[in-house]
Structure 1
Amino acid sequence: MSLSPILDLAGLTLEVNHLARGVRFYSQVLGLELARHDEAAGVAEFVVNPHQTLTLWQPITRQANDERLAPLRPRGASHLHYAWQVEPSDLEPSKGLLDAHGLEWQEINLGTEDRPDWTLYFFDPFGHGLELRGVDRADARQPHFAPTPVQRPPHALPVMGLREVALAFSDYPTMKERLPRAYGFALAKEQEDRDFAQFTLGPHPEPDGNGTPRRWLYAWDPQVGLADMLGGDHALVRFYADVDAVGALVVAAGLPCLRDDHGLAVRDPEGHVFEFIAG
């Protein structure tokens, strides 16, 4: 099996209906560093860590939030489910921080009784589903950019970085064939009881598991999942990759794309737009 050209998760773009409210939430609750706030363009960009970003787009009628990507007609994701990496010891204190911000949360064990893997779920003000997942930084299964603690304000959740993003696909069988063929994503696992696939954002397919520092793309049918989470529609997601290798696959698949000094951007048949940048 050839190596996947996908290296890591670089960034997400969320759609919001009130940009200033989004800036307050992600600055105060997550403690992210605001790098750009442009009300006229409907854009706010945050630095998550030295290698990852989170962007908010407020739609503006007849105006593109990003002129460079406008030919691909991208939108920020709606009701996106995504996860953050945190130290396992920070999960318990995070409950108090969520309470202090007036946010409801659920705690679910994704492991077993013998080897628990506790995670916290909550929502932002726009219906995006967030998750805090403990990561064992000593685990040998390392991503391209290893998770590293980031100094956050005392009132903010102690997130290190983005762990996963979950996208909805209406045509699940076609998606499962297309993502490896047209982009090179490494299919790692499927659930037995649902159309739910896990793609490792790295050179080899590996099963998800307790504490892994690896990062993931989850792809599932448009159903409500665990903790009332939904996969995102018309998402804009950025990945680190071997851009030339992905570009060859995309061209062979005949997908609409653009290539410039920033990297490669592709419009998927389901309406998602994927960006691939050099790692």
Structure 2
Amino acid sequence: MTLSPLLDLAGLTLEVNHLARGVRFYSQVLGLTLARHDEAAGVAEFTVNPHQTLTLWQPITRQAKDGRLAPLRPRGASHLHYAWQIDPDDLEPSKKLLDAHGLSWEEINLGTEDRPDWTLYFFDPFGHGLELRGIDRADSRQPHFPPVPVERPPHALPVMGLREVALAFGDYAAMKERLPRAYGLAFAKEQDDRDFAQFTLGPQAEPDGNGTPRRWLYAWDPQVGLADMLGGDHALVRFYADVDAVKELVKAAGLPYIHDEVGLAVRDPEGHVFEFIAG
């Protein structure tokens, strides 16, 4: 069996129309640490934990958000759905925290009646769909960087880190063939009743659900999903990976890329830009 060169989820970039409002939301509701806030550049960067980041980009006409990536024409994701890892015992208190922040939420059981897997869905001020997913840190299916609790302010959700990102693809069939071939992503499974594929961000495909701390890339058609969530458009997502191995696949696929001391960045035919950095 060929192992995937993908190791883990490193970071996401979201598009926002009001940077200061985004900084307030992600500082106060999620309790993330603000590492950079540049209103003139329209950029805010947060530290999620020692291995993951969340970035906000406010579009400014004729101004590239990242000069290094400018040749690939990246944008922050619009209406991105992504999930946070959280201790299952913290799900119930999180409902009260969301209520205190005036945020509507929806609870859905993604498991079964005898083995429930409850998750909370809510939206940020910009239409990005957030999810709180309970994980069993004792589970043997560990990501490259195992999740650990992070101290958050009392008013913030007790999230440990990013769990998954969901992207929309207009040509689902081409995506399902391309992602393993061009990037080495490990295809895990797809739904029977919808164009919805799951890729394990790790060396081999594994089952999702039931508390696994693994991290994931979901890829689906441009349809509304659970809790009115949409897959993100023109997303910028960063992964930990064997960069040289991914580069060989990208070159063979003929995709536009840049490779420098930071890592490898690639523009997917659907407009997403993927960054691969050493783990």
**Pairwise TM-score range, normalised by the shorter structure:** over 0.9
SS of structure 1 residue aligned to 2:103:
coil
Match of 2:149 in 1: 149
Q: Please give the secondary structure, in 2, of the residue aligned with 1:258.
A: strand
- Paired residues for 1:1-279 under 5 Å: 1-279=1-279
Q: Which amino acid in the other structure matches residue 206 of structure 1? A: E
Distance 1:30 1:262 in 2: 28
Deviation digits for residues 179-203 of structure 1 (CA, Å, limit 9, x no counterpart): 0000000000000000000000000
Cα separation, 2, equivalents of 1:172 and 1:87: 33
Query: Match of 2:73, as an amino acid?
Result: R
5+ residue gaps in structure 2? none
Identity of aligned residues (%): 88
What TM-score, normalized to structure 1? Answer: 1.00
- Alpha carbon RMSD of aligned pairs, Å? 0.3
| Aligned AA (2:155) | H
Equivalent position amino acid for 2:245 in 1: A
TM-score (norm 2): 1.00
CA distance in 2, matches of 1:80, 1:226: 13
Alpha-carbon distance between aligned partners in 2 of 1:112 and 1:197, rounded to the nearest angstrom: 20
Work out the CA distance in 1 between the residues paired with 2:40 and 2:267. 25
CA-to-aligned-CA distance 1:195-228 (integer Å, 9 cap, x gap)? 0000000001011021000000000000000000
The residue type paired with residue 244 of structure 2 is D
- Corresponding pairs, count: 279
Name the CA distance, whole Å, in 1 between partners of 2:36 and 2:43: 7
Rounded Cα–Cα distance in structure 2 between residues aligned with 1:259 and 1:43: 23
Give how far 1:152 is off: 0.1
Distance (whole Å) between structure 2 residues aligned to residue 96 and residue 67 of structure 1: 42
SS at match of 2:56: strand
- Structure 1 residue 29, shift from structure 2 partner: 0.1
Q: Distance in 2 between matches of 1:192 and 1:254?
A: 31
- The Cα of 1:263 is off from its aligned counterpart by 0.1
1:20 and 1:181 map into 2 onto residues whose CA distance is 40
Measure the CA separation in 1 of the matches of 2:204 and 2:179: 14
**What CA deviation, in whole Å up to 9, does each residue of 1:232-270 have, x standing for no partner?**
000000000000000000000000000011000000000
DSSP-derived class of the 1:115 partner = coil
The CA deviation at 1:132 is 0.1
Distance 1:42 1:268 in 2: 24
**Take 1:175 and 1:125, find their aligned partners in 2: how far apart are those partners?**
30
Q: Counterpart of 2:31 in 1: which secondary structure? A: coil
Which secondary structure state, in structure 2, belongs to the residue aligned with residue 47 of structure 1?
strand
User: Structure 1: which amino acid aligns with 2:87?
Assistant: E
